[in-house]
Amino acid sequence: EVQLVESGGGLVQPGGSLRLSCAASGFTLNNYQVIWVRQAPGKGLEWISYISSSGNTIHYADSVRGRFTVSRDHAINSVYLQMSSLRAEDTAVYYCVRDLDTLIQGLWEDAFDIWGQGTTVTVSS
Amino acid sequence: AIQMTQSPSSLSASVGDRVTITCRASQDIRNDLGWFQQKPGKAPKLLIYAASNLQGGVPSRFSGSGSGTDFSLTISSLQPEDSATYYCLQDYSYPFTFGQGTRLEIK
């Protein structure tokens, strides 16, 4: 079965750190771009990060830039989100998402087709 | 950042109805827009990518249209299992941005 599985969520105090992992089964994650999306309790979806398949191109939302770091380890087919200086407003379910580049009429288009089940991060004292 | 304005924020419709949800971008995003369905406690699911391309396995009653700044998701004949929250996402430029979501209730 093709799927993504996040892990590493939990309860952390304000100012603390946490590292989320995203692993794939049924396909080679190394070949794909990945984004991270989060959802605060009762709220909508928020895109927070992108990493290219090579790991050489990275983007962040303003809300996490300077505090979160996305990376990947090709040796073990995984993507990570290192979160530091955590705040109460970072409390959310975090999803990793596969970005499937699809060629349509000569142009590469994004299709965010595989989502993990999500991992919950709670920042509280 | 590109703002995505989604409407309505909620709607209620009956089985068999035709339903349309719209997203407006604050600037031209070509056709770089996806639509997602999310049910309570579940991860979002891709319905439409590149504005009008139906994701494999998604029922054909779902369709997407639009380009530039105005986009729509249409459900041609609403089914009970379509009760969910729907989101658009622009992937034209970083930071990617989601619409606020549309909660769809079945009467």
Q: pLDDT digit string (tens) for A19-72?
A: 999 999 999 999 999 999 999 999 999 999 999 999 999 999 999 999 999 999
Nearest-Cα distance to chain B for A117, in Å, is: 6
Average pLDDT, chain A: 97
Q: Return the closest-CA partner of residue B15 out of B106, B104, B103.
A: B106
The proportion of chain A whose per-residue pLDDT surpasses 90, expressed as a percent, equals 94
Distance CA B63, CA B69 (A): 17
Query: Quick check: A45 and B34 CB within 8 A?
Result: no
Question: Would you call B26 helix, strand, or coil by DSSP?
Answer: coil
Q: b/e string for B68-90 if b means 16 or more Cβ within 10 A?
A: ebebbbebeebeeebbbbbbbbb
Average pLDDT, chain B: 98
Amino acid A113: pLDDT: 97
Which residues of chain A from 18 to 57 reach within 8 Å of chain B, CB to CB?
35, 37, 44-47, 50
- List CB contacts of A75: < 8 A, sequence separation 6 or more: none
Q: Is the peptide bond before B44 cis (omega within 30 degrees of 0)?
A: no
Q: Which residue has the tokens 């969520």?
A: A9
Among chain B, residues having any CB pair with chain A shorter than 8 Å are 1, 31-32, 34, 36, 38, 43-46, 49-50, 53, 55, 87, 89, 91, 94-101
For residue B50, list chain A residues with Cβ-Cβ distance below 8 A. Answer: 102, 104, 109-111
Q: Which residue has the tokens 């049910």?
A: B39
pLDDT tens digits, residue range B26-74?
Answer: 999 999 999 999 999 999 999 999 999 999 999 999 999 999 999 999 9
Kindly state whether A73 is in contact with chain B, defined as any CB-CB distance less than 8 angstroms: no
Using CB atoms within 10 A of its CB, is residue B101 exposed (0-12), middle (13-18) or buried (19+)?
Answer: buried
Question: Token pair for residue A110?
Answer: 């994004």
Amino acid B7: pLDDT: 98
- List CB contacts of A65: < 8 A, sequence separation 6 or more: none
Kindly state whether A117 is in contact with chain B, defined as any CB-CB distance less than 8 angstroms: yes
Kindly state whether A95 is in contact with chain B, defined as any CB-CB distance less than 8 angstroms: yes
